[in-house]
Structure 1
C-alpha cells in the first residue's frame, strides 16, 4: 500500500470506529451521517485489504488487523494534532536557548551591552553568541544557522526579513590639540591625515589599497560627490581602535555618532560636524524567513527593537 492512497480523514474514521465499535455512534462522534461513515468503512477495508470490523452477536468486532492498527493510528493522529496546534509561547524566564547574532564592530559596543543587561534581567538562562561579519555569510543566515545579523547592508537577499533599528549621523573625532580642531574647514579636512573604518559587510574581508576609492565606503562616497578625496593613513576594521587612534594629535576619524559613546568622558577628544554633507547610516537587523514565525525568535527581535529604541532616544 502506498501512502498516497491514504486519506488522513480515513484514519480519523477508523479511530472513531475502533473506539465506538458502532457505525452510527462513530458517525455521531465525528458529526457525520451514517451513510458517510459506512462509505468511509468501505474505503478503509479497501486500503487495508481487511474487513477491520465484523458484525457479530456482540456488535462490531475488530479483526486482528484492526486491533494491531489501533495504537499506531492513535499515535499518528496525536502527532499530527500536535503538529498543527499553535506553537507554545516562548518562556524567556525559564529558557536556556542560545541566540547566535552577527553584530558589526559598530553595533557590538553600542547595542549589545544594554541588550545583555536586559537579558540578565528577563531571561537569565538565555545565552547569546556574538559573531563577526567575517564569521558568517548570507547562506548561513538563510538556513537559520545564524539567528540575526545586525549591520549596515548595501544589499541583501530579497527573501530576508529586515527591520531598521536606528539611523545615525556622522561626526569627526580628533584630539583637542590637533591644529584642525581650531579651523575645521573642508580644505583643512582634506589636508589632514585620516583613519578609515571599514563599512563591514559579510564574508571574509580582503586588504585595502589606498588608491582604491571605490571600496572605501560612505564617507569617501560623499567626498567623491564633491570631486574630492582624503588622505588616509590608517585602515582599520574596528571602530574602537579608530576611536583610540583619534587620540593622536595628527589623526582624524569620521564615524557614526553612536560609535563615540565611550568617548564622552574623554576630555582629550573633541567632536565636530563634518565640513561636508554625509548621508546618515542605517543600522538594520535581518533574519531568515525560516525563523519569521518562531516564538523565541519573535521574542528576541522584539527585545532588540526595544533596546535599540531606548538607545536611539537617549
Structure 2
C-alpha cells in the first residue's frame, strides 16, 4: 500500500469515530455532513479491509482490529500535531482552546475556583471541560483524549507523567448539636454514625460494603491499624454531599481538610481534627506522554502548578 494513495484526513475521521462510536455525532464534531462522514467510514473500511465499527443493539461497537488501531492512531495524530504545531509559544490571551480535565469534586471545590480566577485574567477565552473519574478509563487518558487527571491515586500507568500539587490531611465535620461536640474522642468517634466518601480513584467505590475494610480507604485503614472500626451509615461519592449530610444530628463526615475548610463559615457545622492519626495523601496531576511536549499543554500544567502552590501558601 502506497502512502500517497491514502487520505490522512481519514485517520482523523477514524479517531473521532472510535471515540464517539456514532456517525452523526462524529460528523458534528468534525464540522462535516453525515453523508460525508458515512462516506469516510466506507473508505476507511476499504483501506483497512475491516468493518472497524459494527452496529449492534448497544450501538456502534469497534471490531478487534479497530481496538488495536486506536492507541496507535492516537500516537500518530499526536506526532503529526507536534510536527505542524507553530514553534512559537502558546498565546493564552487569545486562545479558545478547550482543556479536558478529569477530577473529583474534591479537586473541583479546592483547586478549580482559584484556577478559573487565574484564567479569567490571563486566558479569558480558554474553556475547561470537567469530567468525573467514572467518565473515562486510564486507557482513554493514555490515548490523550483527556488533557489532565487531577486526583489522588493508589496507582497509575507507568507511562503517565505526573506531578504532586499538594498534600492534605483529614478533618471531621459534624453538627453543632451532635453529642460529639461535648465529648469528642476515639471511643465516641467509632460509636457514632459515619458518612463514608469514595477514594475517587479511577473506577473506585463500586460495590463497597461496610465489611470491605481493606477497600474502604484511608480513614478505615487507619482505624483498622489500631484495631478499631467505625459504623458507616451512609455511602456517598461526593465530598460536598458528605458535608451536607454531616449537618444531620448524629452523623460524622471525615474528609480531606481542604474540602472540610470550605464549610468554615457554616454555623451549623463543627470542624475537628480526628482523634487518631490518618496518613496524609497527595493530590496529583497526571497526563499522557502524547501531550508532554504540546505547548498549550505545557502552559496549562504550569498555571495549575502555580495556582496549587499559591493555594498551599495562602
What is residue 88 of structure 1 aligned with on the other side? 88
Instruction: Report the Cα offset of residue 262 of structure 1.
Output: 2.4
Partners of 2:295 and 2:101 in 1: CA distance = 17
Structure 1 residues without counterparts, runs of 5 or longer: 4-79
3-state SS of paired residue (1:171)? strand
Determine which structure has more spread, i.e. the larger CA radius of gyration: 1
Partners of 1:98 and 1:191 in 2: CA distance = 47
Length-normalised TM-score, structure 2: 0.72
Q: Is the 8 A contact 2:150 2:286 kept in 1?
A: yes
What is residue 171 of structure 1 aligned with on the other side? 171
RMSD: 1.9
What is residue 138 of structure 1 aligned with on the other side? 138
1:40-59 equivalences under 5 Å are: none
What is residue 216 of structure 1 aligned with on the other side? 216
Instruction: Report the Cα offset of residue 215 of structure 1.
Output: 1.2
3-state SS of paired residue (2:108)? helix
3-state SS of paired residue (1:133)? coil
3-state SS of paired residue (1:232)? strand
The total of aligned residue pairs comes to: 236
What is residue 263 of structure 1 aligned with on the other side? 263
What is residue 278 of structure 1 aligned with on the other side? 278
- 1:13-63 per-residue CA deviation (whole Å, 9 max, x = no partner) reads xxxxxxxxxxxxxxxxxxxxxxxxxxxxxxxxxxxxxxxxxxxxxxxxxxx
Q: 1:83 to 1:192 in 2, by over 3 A?
A: closer
Partners of 2:255 and 2:305 in 1: CA distance = 23
What is residue 239 of structure 1 aligned with on the other side? 239
Instruction: Report the Cα offset of residue 183 of structure 1.
Output: 1.2
Q: Is the 8 A contact 2:167 2:282 kept in 1?
A: yes
What is residue 40 of structure 2 aligned with on the other side? none
- 1:178-224 per-residue CA deviation (whole Å, 9 max, x = no partner) reads 11121111111111100001001113752321222121000001011
- Is the counterpart of residue 125 in structure 1 residue 134 in structure 2? no
Q: Is the 8 A contact 1:134 1:205 kept in 2?
A: no
Q: Which runs of 4+ in 1 moved over 6 A?
A: none
Q: 1:154 to 1:204 in 2, by over 3 A?
A: closer
Structure 2 residues without counterparts, runs of 5 or longer: 4-79
Q: Is the 8 A contact 1:210 1:232 kept in 2?
A: yes
Instruction: Report the Cα offset of residue 83 of structure 1.
Output: 4.2
